[in-house]
């Protein structure tokens, strides 16, 4: 069982919809991440939160809006997405951000399809 | 700039045979290296990591990797492949200064009965 829980597992949305992806961890980790993974590709970093503050935004389009309500929760709000945004969205956490031996713990992802 | 190269996007081995997945890195500073495995429809799971100390690192599921500075390599091995090892494997380096992980392009391991 993964210690990082993501909901929903699957999401189909139209280009005019607004939806949110949710991520939760109870390992006491202080850093949380959003990654996007296309088929047969490695994960691509989108956002990093460290101690509930946004520390890295990899020039992600504004139609993706992250939120970290507390140290255990991470949301990704989606609005006006494009079909090319269809992908597996992975949440991860680590004990700290900026610590070299702090590996990432991934959830199982949300498979997003934009129609 | 730090980078990771995984040689071979697909590797096939027979069940019971040696598994060798190759990873080379470029880094101007001591690297921090990781191997992750991704099973179908799942997230990535840490197999093992090298930060400092012993250059032969043992991980989960019988995998191990050896950090070779002279060869800038961190190859992943397992003495005897099992059908359940079939998955995608990613090598990653943690980039000091940017505080980001760089992932290799991945190697899909197929285990033949």
- pLDDT on residue A96: 79
Averaged confidence pLDDT in chain B:
92
Q: How far is B51 from chain A (nearest CA, A)?
A: 6
| Pairing of β A64-70 and β A73-79 | antiparallel
What tens digit of pLDDT does each residue of B37-89 get? 999 989 999 999 998 888 999 999 999 999 999 999 999 999 999 999 999 99
Using DSSP, how many helices (H) and how many strands (E) does chain B show?
Answer: 0, 12
Average pLDDT over residues B9-37: 92
B31 touches chain A (CB under 8 A): no
Determine whether the interchain pair A56/B32 forms a contact, defined as Cβ–Cβ distance below 8 Å. no
- pLDDT on residue A100: 65
In residues, how long is chain A? 115
Q: Is A15 helix (H, G, I), strand (E, B) or coil?
A: coil
Question: Could you give the angle at the alpha carbon of B77 between the alpha carbons of B72 and B81, nearest 5°?
Answer: 160
Q: Which residues contact A36 (CB under 8 A, 6 or more apart)?
A: A43, A44, A46, A87, A88, A89, A90
- Would the pLDDT of A36 be above 60? yes
Q: Chain B 48-87, CB below 8 Å of chain A: which residues?
A: 49, 51
B104 touches chain A (CB under 8 A): yes
Determine whether the interchain pair A2/B34 forms a contact, defined as Cβ–Cβ distance below 8 Å. no
For every residue of B12-29, DSSP letters joined together read EEETTSPEEE--EEE-SS
């Amino acid at each position: 069982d993964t210690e990082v829980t993501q909901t929903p597992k699957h999401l189909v949305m139209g280009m005019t919809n607004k939806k949110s992806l949710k991520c939760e961890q109870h390992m006491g980790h202080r850093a949380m991440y959003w990654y996007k993974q296309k088929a047969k590709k490695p994960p691509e970093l989108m956002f990093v939160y460290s101690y509930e503050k946004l520390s890295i935004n990899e020039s992600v389009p504004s139609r993706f809006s992250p939120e970290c309500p507390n140290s255990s929760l991470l949301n990704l709000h989606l609005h006006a997405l494009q079909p090319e945004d269809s992908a597996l969205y992975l949440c991860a956490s680590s004990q700290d951000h900026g610590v070299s031996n702090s590996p990432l713990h991934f959830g199982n992802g949300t498979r997003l399809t934009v129609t | 700039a730090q980078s990771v190269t995984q040689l071979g996007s697909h590797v096939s081995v027979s069940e019971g045979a040696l598994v060798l997945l190759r990873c080379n890195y470029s880094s101007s500073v001591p690297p921090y290296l990781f191997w992750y495995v991704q099973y179908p429809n799942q997230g990535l799971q840490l197999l093992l990591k090298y930060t400092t100390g012993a250059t032969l690192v043992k991980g989960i599921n019988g995998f191990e990797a050896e950090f070779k500075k002279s060869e800038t390599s961190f190859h992943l091995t397992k003495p005897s492949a099992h059908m359940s090892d079939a998955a995608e494997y990613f090598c990653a380096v943690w980039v000091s200064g940017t505080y980001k992980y760089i992932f290799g392009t991945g190697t899909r391991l197929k285990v033949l009965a």
